[in-house]
Amino acid sequence: MTRLPGPGPIATARYSPRMIRQPYALLRELHRRYGPVVAFGYPPFRYVYLFGRDANELLLHGETERFRWREALASLIPIDGDTALVVSDGDDHQRRRRLVQPAFARRRIEGYLPIMVDELAAEVSFWRPGEVVDVYATLRRRVLVAVIRSLFGEALRDRADELGHHLQVGIDYVNTSPLARFDHDWPGTPYRRAMRARRAADEIIYDEITRRRKAAGGGDRRDADAGDVLDALLAAQDDGGHRGEDEGLTDEEVRDQVVSLVAAGFETTSAGIGWTLHAVHARPDVAARLRAEVASVVGDGELTPAHLGAMPYLDAVVSESLRLYPPGPFSARKVVDDVTFAGHTIPAGVLVVYSAYEVQRDPARWPEPDRFAPERWLPGDALHRPVDPYAYVPFGGGYRRCIGFAFATQEIKAAVVEVVRRVDLRPLDRTLVPTGIATMWPRDGVRCEVGTPPK
């Protein structure tokens, strides 16, 4: 066992190929065996894992100035871009987030609900009783189109498949374990294919940015509350942020925010929909209760934001799905000043990792942690506990909580409502195998037999 410096030596777990094949189960095993702090791997892929809600509080709320995101999440830069929020730190992050935030105001997000419903309901209308459907794969394209329509309005709707194809090549690459990547632009490498796809996607996006700037007359001011997400980002640039305090977003910054939002909004949301639909229909009692709530609140009418806010069981279902299957199972930081945690000193320069997947299945915090039990979110149930904000972090937390969390949650809820009110599903696989690093998705899809919903 090797040691890292500090008042309490940090145990180093032996490398295991399971870190690539079964990273989620291995994390829980490491926590049980070594406690809240353990080192793992070899340079340049050497990490210190911090487990438990106290670790999350340290990283998300405590001494945040002792950590940096950029170096820890540099693997995302080839696709998300050099100025994306997720890889920004310090003043750069504060400025960019301030300018991007209006694009995700509540009123704006609620305005995208009809787009989401339109795409999702159109897909479900093609499903016929008795056929087998991979609901994850089939809804992914509709999620992509809904995200692109929300970001770009109708301007790029006809190019959604093309843009999505290019971005998917890059997303697949950054979702590969760092242990299996080769970030060199050599012929025939996955990295070169990813970079070629990025250039193709960038051409589409930059053309649209240029077109809108010209249409707006260059320096003309835009209404920051009107239009789509791209309009909001361009309005932030024109308005100069806090009334002239900044110069606003450059074209590169606009591009990087858009691409990272597409990647997050498409990949994580479609995964969340797949996990949730499987979990709901694997428990017929949950599906029946949810269907009854939808019938009572929505009926045969068009789904509205007010409906979503009036369905506590739907909230519980989605919260429980995000607990078991968080869209971002891991996140990392680079230590810039020595940090003491759980009796250990973690030296500057070390990469530390925390896991939403691990903490949200911690039996010390969650009774029957591996069971899908939406009732645990309802006061009065035997499993109910007050929610600890550092033991439930599906979208991170603190001042760097994922800026698109409300968008993603709304789309997952919309998908669940539109499916349960139209069809019944019978999952054909008892369990699903999670995979992915930046995003966790069901490796073999979500195969279901379509049935008619009970009256």
pLDDT tens digits, 105-124: 889 999 999 999 999 999 99
Residue 450: beta bridge partners? 425
- Going from the N-terminus, what domains does the chain have, and what CATH number goes with each? 12-451 (1.10.630.10)
Contacts of 347 (CB under 8 A, 6+ apart): 4, 5, 6, 335, 338
103, HSE (Cβ side, Cα atoms, 13 Å): 27
Listed range (244-248, 286-290, 373-377) with the worst mean pLDDT = 244-248
> DSSP letters of 75-87?
GGHHHH-TT-GGG
* Res. 3 pLDDT band, cuts 50 70 90: very low
> Could you give phi then psi for residue 304, rounded to 5 degrees?
-125, 165
Share of the chain above pLDDT 70, in %: 92
Give the least confident one: 152-161, 252-261, 303-312, 414-423: 152-161
Can you give the pLDDT at residue 221? Answer: 47
272 burial type by CB count under 10 A (0-12 exposed, 13-18 middle, 19+ buried):
buried
> CB neighbours (10 Å) of residue 161?
13
Kind plus residue range of the DSSP H or E element containing 425: strand 424-427
Quickly list H helices, 216-361: 229-239, 251-263, 269-281, 284-297, 305-308, 312-324, 356-359
442 forms beta bridges with: 434
Rounded to two decimals, what is the model's pTM?
0.91
Confidence of residue 62 (pLDDT cuts 50, 70, 90): confident
Tell how strand 434-435 and strand 441-442 pair up. Answer: antiparallel
* Cα 39 to Cα 129: distance, rounded to the nearest angstrom: 51
Q: Is there a contact between 112 and 407 (Cβ–Cβ < 8 Å)? A: yes
Indicate whether 394 pLDDT > 50. yes
The two tokens of residue 392 are: 């439930």
- For residue 45, what are the CA distances in angstroms to 17, 143, 177, 437, 449? 13, 34, 10, 14, 43
- Count the helices and strands in the chain (H runs, E runs): 18, 13
pLDDT tens sequence across 270-301 = 999 999 999 999 999 999 999 999 999 999 99
Q: Are 439 and 328 in contact (CB under 8 A)?
A: yes
